Amino acid sequence: MTAVVSLRNVAKSYLRGKQQVEVLHGVDLEIASGEFLALMGPSGSGKTTMLNLIAGLDQPTSGEVSVAGERIDGLSRAALAAWRARHIGFVFQFYNLLPVLTAEANVEVPLLLTNLSRGERRKRVETALQLVGLADRAKHKPNELSGGQQQRVAIARALVADPTLLVCDEPTGDLDRRSAEEIMNLLQALNRRQGKTIVMVTHDPKAAEYASRELHLDKGQLVDEAERRAA
Amino acid sequence: MTLFKQIAAVTLMNFKSLPHRVGTSIVIVIGIAGVVAVLVSVLAMSTGMLETMEHSGRDDRAIVLRNGSASEMGSALGRDAARLVEDAPGIKRDSQGKPIASAEALRLLNLFRKEDGAEVNVTLRGVGPQLHTVRPEVKIVEGRMFTPAVTEVIVGKAAHAEFKGLNVGDRIKTRGATWTVVGVFTSGGDSHESGLMTDAETLIAAEQRGSVQSVTVLLESPAAFQKFKDALSSNPALAVDVSREREYYRRQSETIGKVIYIIAYVVGGIMAIGAIFSALNTMYSAVSARLREIATLRAIGFGATAMVMSVLAEALLLALIGGTIGAAIAWLFFNGHQVSTSAGGNAAGHLIFELSVSPALIVTGIVWACTIGLIGGLFPAIRAARLPVATALRAI
């Protein structure tokens, strides 16, 4: 299978006050098309930083990041924004829906960055909402939906523009067990039936079980599974 | 195209979320409404006064004063000088060949304002027998015209409305005579409506003074002014200043007009600075309140320009609402409101005029409002655009 994501010797450090904090150290990673990868690790291990680099929300201090066949580590902010619109669908822990918009208007937001006609946009929104089982909640605003429903709307929003990669940051972090299972089943179905490539950061081992591959980060480095178990 | 769509989409979302931020949004609206209301109201004073003074003059009329006199009150022309002026070339003549001119004497009367009882100096203007040809705009609207050689006066419409004791039949006592009000006149809304008129000879005789203050002449045409002026300037027997009437009245209102403008812009400017800070505060709050939305939209792929424009559009919308309210307040409460000032130039004595909230002033107010909104929105807009998305998402 071809690699959709490729990280070569990626390092990332931040300035915290006057101190340089190394978050990732020389990470190498390949994610194949159609994979469902769960990134796990303790707080501060660099999971979210790595996810941000893959999603083009941040730039590495050194190393190469290629996603969807394109080097993105050198792109400008504006170019990265346009690139994200084409290739990345986001699912956030707190859903991040726009409170003043209805579910269907929220799902339509990424399509406003395309040249699709209004009719085409409407059709796609409808399909996406059907896919997540919320066609009957299209006219509801986020505050009229449960947490699980809101996250499903967020997934529909992430899918609607048919991105190369679905990036999920703790998608079940704010949900009860039952809703979390529903969301994980939905993500797994999207991966298995639609062939969507998914990268998910999670603390929850149960959520990680739905993924086709698990990777662990510790102190900014990917840890070998055997090493991890031994430790 | 996509950029416009982005801007429209984000702006629309901002507008839709405005009802959730009524409290902070009202601060900017009230602040700007206050600035515009004050600015437009004060400028309306200046505009109203200028309009009144501009109506007071015509290009085909000239006014002659003693050399070096800033206004009629400071001028004195002997009878011989007045006659020489009336004989000069360039003056239009009536059917009998007489020059159309009015040698005018001015005196100040002490009258009391109806509103607060304050004592105010009001001009009593003695005019020549050719008043109707020199000033055809003077029309009697109540009572009748004064009779020469009788101590009768006619009262300007604005003075009639402003002062006590100026009804037809009322009497006004001065040191030299008791004057009877016999009529009320209009003169096209000019400054003469703020005063009284009588026969010049009667006034001079009653006051026992021999001189007039000015001579106003009707010219053959506006172009004849130069001929008239040159003739007077080259006459060694005369030491006079000649002005077109419109120019003269404009000059009279220039100083006070400038003072009002300065007051308007200084007060308006100080208030505007306050409003800018309030707008900055409001828009920073708006950006902070929408940090999650902005970060999410940026993550999805919306550009920085769309964020800047949407914040600016929101600031502009609020400013426009504030500006419109401010202009409406100024118009409702002050347009057409009669005020008086004794500083309308000595020529006019106590000048009565209406505040004029003209369309141009409303535009000025709205431009000020938009400028305040844009400045107040700019820095928060830049903040929204520069927001590091990854950090902002994590901070939520």
User: Chain B closest CA to A224's CA: distance in Å?
Assistant: 27
Q: A63 vs A46, B14, B391, CA distance in Å?
A: 16, 39, 21
DSSP letters for B339-358: EEETTS-TTTSSEEEE----
Answer yes or no: is B270 within a domain: yes
Higher pLDDT, residue A16 or B318: B318
Chain-centroid distance of CA B185 in Å reads 22
Q: Nearest-CA neighbor of B213 among B19, B384, B66?
A: B66
Does B64 fall in a domain?
A: no
Does residue B186 sit within a domain? Answer: yes
Mutate to test the interface with B, among A77, A115, A170 (most CBs of B within 10 A): A77
Average pLDDT over residues B196-209: 89
CATH code: domain of residue A216: 3.40.50.300
Q: Does residue A146 lie in a domain region?
A: yes
Name which of A1-10, A178-187, B286-295 the model is least confident about: B286-295
When divided into structural domains, chain B yields a total of 2
Q: Check if the beta carbon of residue A56 is closer than 8 Å to that of residue A6.
A: no
Residue B296 shares a structural domain with residue B343? yes
State the best of A96, A120, A166, A201 to mutate against chain B, taking most chain B CBs within 10 Å: A96
Tokens of B144: 């009748």
Do B23 and B132 reside in the same domain of the chain? no
**Is it the case that residue A150 has pLDDT exceeding 70?**
yes
In angstroms, the first-to-last Cα distance of chain B is 32
**Residue A9 is assigned to a structural domain of this protein:** no
Residue with tokens 């629309």: B12
Averaged over B290-309, what is the pLDDT?
Answer: 89
Residue B74 belongs to a domain: no
Substitution target from A75, A113, A201 for chain B, most B beta carbons within 10 A: A113
**Cβ of B179 under 8 Å from any chain A Cβ?**
no
Residues of A in Cβ contact (< 8 Å) with B298 = 81
Mean pLDDT of B134-153: 94
Closest CA–CA distance from residue A180 to any residue of chain B (Å): 21
Q: Do A77 and B304 make contact, defined as CB atoms within 8 angstroms?
A: yes
Alpha-carbon gap: A98 to the closest alpha carbon of chain B (Å): 6
Q: Which residue has the tokens 């000649």?
A: B242
* Residue B113 DSSP symbol: B
Contact B293 A98 (CB under 8 A): yes
Stretch (H or E) spanning A95: none
Is the model's pLDDT at B217 over the cut of 70?
A: yes
The per-residue pLDDT for range B36-52, each reduced to its tens digit, is 998 898 888 888 877 77
Mark whether B214 and B256 lie in a shared domain.
no
Q: In the beta sheet, which residues pair with residue B215? A: B64, B103
Look up residue B94 and give its two tokens: 């009536």
For B49, the enclosing helix (H) or strand (E) is: helix B22-55
| Mean predicted lDDT score pLDDT of chain B | 87
Specify the pLDDT at position A224.
Answer: 66
ipTM, 2 decimals? Answer: 0.92
Gap between the Cα atoms of B349 and B107, Å rounded: 9
Lowest mean pLDDT among A165-169, B129-133, B250-254, B280-284: B250-254
Whether A1 maps to a domain, the answer reads: no
Residue pair B376/B278 in contact by the 8 Å Cβ criterion: yes
Residue A156's pLDDT is: 96
Chain B, 283 to 302: residues with Cβ < 8 Å from chain A are: 292-293, 295-302
**Is the pLDDT reported for residue B4 higher than 60?**
yes
From B161, B194, B218, give the residue that closes a domain: B218
Would residue B229 count as lying in a domain?
A: no
In the predicted model, is pLDDT for residue B256 greater than 80? no
Q: How many CB atoms lie within 10 A of CB B63?
A: 24
Among residues B164, B194, B218, the one where a domain terminates is: B218
For residues A217 and A199, give the distance between their C-alpha atoms in angstroms, rounded to a whole number: 14
Full domain range(s) for residue A47? 34-60+77-230
Model pLDDT, residue B348: 46
Percent of chain A predicted with pLDDT > 90: 79
Residue A230 pLDDT level (bands cut at 50, 70, 90): low
In a domain, A222, yes or no: yes
The contacts of residue B140 (CB under 8 Å, 6+ apart) are: B154, B183, B184, B185
Residue A29 lies in a domain: no
pLDDT at B345: 44
Domain total of chain A: 1
Burial class (CB in 10 A: 0-12, 13-18, 19+), B266: exposed
CA distance B302 to B389: 11
Residue B348 lies in a domain: yes
> Whole domain around residue B123: which residue ranges?
90-218
**SS3 state of residue A15:** strand
Q: What is the rounded distance in angstroms from the CA atom of residue A23 to the CA atom of residue A220?
A: 5
What is each CA distance from A148 to A12, B6, B246, B380, in whole angstroms? Answer: 34, 29, 79, 34
Distance from CA of B27 to the nearest CA of A (A): 22
CA gap B244, B17 in Å, rounded: 60
- C-alpha dist (Å) from residue A66 to A14, A62, B161, B255, B339: 21, 13, 84, 72, 75
In a domain, A41, yes or no: yes
pLDDT at B391: 78
Structure tokens at A105: 């208007």
* pLDDT surpassing 60 at residue A73: yes
Secondary structure of B119-150 as H, E, C letters: EEEEEEEEECCCHHHHCCCCEEEEECCCCCCC
